[in-house]
Amino acid sequence: MNQSKQLLAAGLLALTASVGLVNSVSAQLPSADTRQNIRDTKSMTVKERIKEFGDRLALRLNASLDRAENLRLRVVDRVGQFQDPKFDKALVDAKLKEAADAIAAGKVKVATIAAEVAKAQAAANPTTALADLRTTVKGIIKDVRTAHQKVVEAIIMIKSAYPSTGSGQATTTTP
């Protein structure tokens, strides 16, 4: 009798454990609606991040182009102040003209960021659209750097015509 009670108790225990296991497995699996809600939430988050990325980027690149333009204008002003320059003024003016053209082209390309962001948000797969947007942005950043580099090249031409004389201390040689 004792053995049959133990066998019955073991069977009931096994049955209870298996029912609990089935219930816990079914409780862990979300329904199809829940999974779709999770996908929709992730998609909306990615689209929001794409918009924020585009806004931040346009702001930064416009600020960078404005700084390059201000630097170019200061250099143009200083070049005009030289009475008898030792550098080739036509060459410096050409570099500054190239810089102005590059800055204007950069501003046009930065203005296209909003359209690229809208296209990325409307894409079926926002993750790949974000990757495409980043490659487009890298090209725009390269153009902004080129605009700044043209101004720097003009400054280097001017500085090379006027070598530094040192720190102002007289150098004496001992015999």
Mean pLDDT, residues 107-124: 88
Residue 144 forms part of a structural domain:
yes
- What gap in Å lies between CA 29 and CA 103, rounded to an integer? 56
Residue 94 forms part of a structural domain:
yes
pLDDT beyond 80 at 5: no
Q: Which residues form the domain of 60?
A: 40-161
Residue 35 forms part of a structural domain:
no
Residue 75: what pLDDT?
93
- Cα–Cα separations (whole angstroms), residue 126 to 5, 42, 55, 89, 134: 63, 10, 17, 51, 12
Residue 104 forms part of a structural domain:
yes
Residue 74 forms part of a structural domain:
yes
* pLDDT tens, position by position, 116-166: 888 888 888 877 888 888 888 898 899 889 989 999 999 999 888 888 776
Residue 32 forms part of a structural domain:
no
For the chain, counts of helices (H) and of strands (E): 5, 0
pLDDT: which is higher, 53 or 21: 53
Residue 18 forms part of a structural domain:
no
pTM: 0.69
Domain count, the chain: 1
Q: Tell me the pLDDT of the chain averaged across its residues.
A: 83
* pLDDT tens, position by position, 48-83: 888 998 999 999 999 999 999 999 999 999 988 888
- What gap in Å lies between CA 22 and CA 12, rounded to an integer? 15
Where residue 174 falls (left for φ over 0; alpha for ψ -120 to 50; beta otherwise) is: beta
Amino acid residing at 73 = L
Residue 47 forms part of a structural domain:
yes
Token reading at 44 = 């909306």
